[in-house]
């Protein structure tokens, strides 16, 4: 792949993306249009995140990619390999060792630091899109700070279901101004968006938008006083590492209704197991072996 520039994109393109990133950081939560390029991977598969990572990476960086919290899901493997080949950067699976983390659908469990950049892959950057399909309209709504429609939607949820029926991509308000889509992370992750020491960058390739949260931004999940936002997860500890504070995936283990819950953040789970924490199923297995 030596025919390609460092991190694949040419320097002009990277500059164009960096300008969009800087504008995004200057106006937190605002969706900056950018001339997204056609990447050698399909739209919808992380091209926005890949372009933001490419424009952000330096040869000294240590790069981590997760999809659904895991380093070993196929598309995470594919994106990591892409940058190994085109940028030759060091890669890691350890959250704390990484300087840039590209993610799809999760925020790592381990707290992030000021030396880190978290890059989100975003499918639909517009939080109002499913209330108003027209971009020409939603841009107007943002500029006029006209978010009544969103509150009506959340209110209708409550009147219909008794609760806000949004479980992921739960909308937030940034610095008291822009309503922003945090990408399809589970709402469990929403509190981690706020007051985060790391830079958070959001890239939507197909929709040609970049937006950003500077470190320590004020990010509030939309709610009502009598129906406060609640970060929820499966009410269960991890069956492998026993963690009670991590987001869990449900895994079907047999065809008789058997299932277990495991951390979606594979690095977090592995680290805890290495520290000697044992979940119920792993403990049972070790006892059986002893």
Partner 1 sequence: MYVAVKGGERAIDNAHAWLAEERRGDPTVPELSVAQIREQMALAVNRVMTEGSLYDPDLAALAIKQARGDLIEAIFLIRAYRTTLPRFGSSVPVKTAEMACERRISATFKDAPGGQVLGPTFDYTHRLLDFKLAAEGETPTAPEGEARREPTPHITGFLNREGLIQTEDESGETPPDLTREPMELPAARALRLQALTRGDEGFVLGLAYSTQRGYARNHAFVGELRIGTVAVEMDIPELGFAIEIGEITVTECESVNQFKGSKTEPPQFTRGYGLVFGQTERKAISMALVDRALRWKELGEDDQGAPAQDEEFVLMHCDNIQATGFLEHIKLPHYVDFQSELELVRKLRRAAGAEEVKEAAQ
Burial letters for 226-257: b for 16+ Cβ neighbours within 10 Å, e otherwise?
A: eeebeeebeeebbbbbbbeebbbbeeeeeeee
CB nearer to partner 1: pick between 184 and 214 = 184
Q: Considering the complex, state which of residue 52 and residue 185 has its C-beta at the smaller distance from partner 1.
A: 185
Alpha-carbon distance 281 to 284, whole Å?
A: 5
Q: How far is the CB of 212 from partner 1 (least distance, A)?
A: 16
- Residues marked as catalytic: 29, 238, 241, 263, 269
* Nearest distance from C-beta of residue 121 to partner 1, angstroms: 10
Q: How far is the CB of 19 from partner 1 (least distance, A)?
A: 12
Site residues (vs partner 1, CB under 8 A): 4, 8, 10, 33-40, 42-45, 47, 67-70, 72-78, 81, 104-106, 123, 134-136, 161-163, 165, 167-169, 184-188, 206, 208, 232-234, 239, 247-251, 253, 260, 262, 264, 266, 281, 285
For the chain, the first-to-last Cα distance in angstroms comes to 50
Cα 256 to Cα 200, 204, 214, 260: the distances in Å are 42, 41, 48, 13
Encoded tokens for 38: 């056609």
Q: Is 121 helix (H, G, I), strand (E, B) or coil?
A: strand
Tell me how far, at minimum, the Cβ of 27 lies from partner 1, in Å.
16
Measure the CA–CA gap between 19 and 175, rounded to whole angstroms.
21
Rank residues 78 and 218 by Cβ distance to partner 1 and give the closer one. 78
Closer by beta carbon to partner 1, 37 or else 153: 37
């Amino acid at each position: 792949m030596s025919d390609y520039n460092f991190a694949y994109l040419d320097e002009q393109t990277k500059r164009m993306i960096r300008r969009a990133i800087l504008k995004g950081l200057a106006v937190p939560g605002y969706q900056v249009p950018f001339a997204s390029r056609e990447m050698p991977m399909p739209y919808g598969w992380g091209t926005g995140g890949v372009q933001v990572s490419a424009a952000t990476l330096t040869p000294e960086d240590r790069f981590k990619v997760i999809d659904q919290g895991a380093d070993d899901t196929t598309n995470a493997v594919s994106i990591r390999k892409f940058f190994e080949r085109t940028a030759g950067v060091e890669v890691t699976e350890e959250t704390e060792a990484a300087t840039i983390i590209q993610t799809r659908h999760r925020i790592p469990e381990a707290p992030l630091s000021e030396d880190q950049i978290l890059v989100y892959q975003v499918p639909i950057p517009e939080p109002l899109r499913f209330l108003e399909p027209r971009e020409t309209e939603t841009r107007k709504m943002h500029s006029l700070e006209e978010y009544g429609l969103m509150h009506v939607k959340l209110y209708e949820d409550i009147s219909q279901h008794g609760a806000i029926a949004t479980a992921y991509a739960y909308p937030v308000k940034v610095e008291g101004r822009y309503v922003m889509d945090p990408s399809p992370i589970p709402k469990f992750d929403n509190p981690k968006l706020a007051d985060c020491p790391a830079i958070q960058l959001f890239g939507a390739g197909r929709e040609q938008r970049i937006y950003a949260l500077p470190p320590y931004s004020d990010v509030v999940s939309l709610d009502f006083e009598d129906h406060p936002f609640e970060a929820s997860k499966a009410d269960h500890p991890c069956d492998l590492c026993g963690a009670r504070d991590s987001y869990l995936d449900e895994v079907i283990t047999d065809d008789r209704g058997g299932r277990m819950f495991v951390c979606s953040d594979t690095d977090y789970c592995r680290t805890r197991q290495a520290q000697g924490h044992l979940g119920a199923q792993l403990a049972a297995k070790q006892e059986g072996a002893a």
